[in-house]
Amino acid sequence: MSRSGAAAALVVGSVHMACGVEYGLTLILFYLTGSRLTRIGSKAKAALEERYEESSRRTATQVLANSLAGSVLAVTAAAAAAGALPVQAPAAWRAALHGAFLGHYACCCADTWSSELGMLSAGLPRLITNPRRRVPRGTNGGVSLLGLKAGAAGGALMGAAFWLAGGDLGLALGTLGTLLDSLLGATLQYSGVHTASGRMASAPGPGMARVCGRLVLSNDGVNALAAASTALAGGAAGLLLQGM
């Protein structure tokens, strides 16, 4: 992490732990496993993607993109559990907030795992918006079997960390999150390949050939939007499970 990233992580980590061990444990496992996976095959990844070494260092912006919404959900859920929210059916609210919290981190962890391990897949990934088309490794929206399996495992870990026996929901939300992130990346995030070096980049420039996507969202923007959408799905799932 950069200095700003470490400072932001300290703040959001303290908030999560203050809300409950389950929230803090989920956050710790997310960042711990993500940082470990970033180091796997780092030289090969750097050869595939421009500015990989710079982007692999977590800044405050990246930390908050992945954890600010989780912090808000954790604080709100803790307040609901303490009876501090003037709402009807507090149990249903807690279930929805727990599901949203899990959905958020299942998506974030699944995206990190699928990105870091999917880039090392032996075969070229397929573009999620056109499965017949093979694209270079590191393309936003490129999907491989290894990446999908890694994303599902990351989501399952978040489910296990938060609910112990709730791995099935975490796996489902993690798979949904990684697919949604890939879809957004393939359409709203620019992917180009440098014709001379063959390395991927997320911004157009001299010597770049566009592979897919438009320059609408940054990687952090795609992650935040995918996580928010998966959090909504998790909240709805929490409500459904509460009614069973």
- In angstroms, the CA 9 to CA 161 distance is 19
What's the pLDDT at 51? Answer: 66
Sequence-distant (≥ 6) Cβ neighbours of residue 219 within 8 angstroms? 55, 140, 185, 189, 202
- In angstroms, the CA 73 to CA 137 distance is 34
Please report which helix (H) or strand (E) contains residue 33, including its range: helix 21-39
- Quickly count helices (H) and strands (E) in the chain: 9, 6
Sequence-distant (≥ 6) Cβ neighbours of residue 84 within 8 angstroms? none
pLDDT (tens digit, 9 = 90+) per residue, 57-86?
778 888 998 999 999 999 999 998 888 888
Please report which helix (H) or strand (E) contains residue 26, including its range: helix 21-39
The ranges of the chain with pLDDT < 70 are: 51-56, 164-168, 243-244
Residue with tokens 């998506």: 107
58, 209, 133, 142: CA torsion to nearest 10: 0
Q: What is the DSSP letter of 125?
A: P
Cα 200 from chain centre = 20
Q: Please, what sign has the CA dihedral across residues 227, 229, 230, 235?
A: positive
pTM > 0.85 = yes
The backbone torsions φ and ψ at residue 122, rounded to the nearest 5 degrees and listed phi first, read: -65, -40
What's the pLDDT at 53? Answer: 62
pLDDT (tens digit, 9 = 90+) per residue, 116-147?
999 999 899 999 999 999 999 889 999 999 99
What's the pLDDT at 93? Answer: 84
- In angstroms, the CA 67 to CA 182 distance is 20
Q: Please, what sign has the CA dihedral across residues 116, 15, 75, 221?
A: negative
- In angstroms, the CA 137 to CA 116 distance is 11
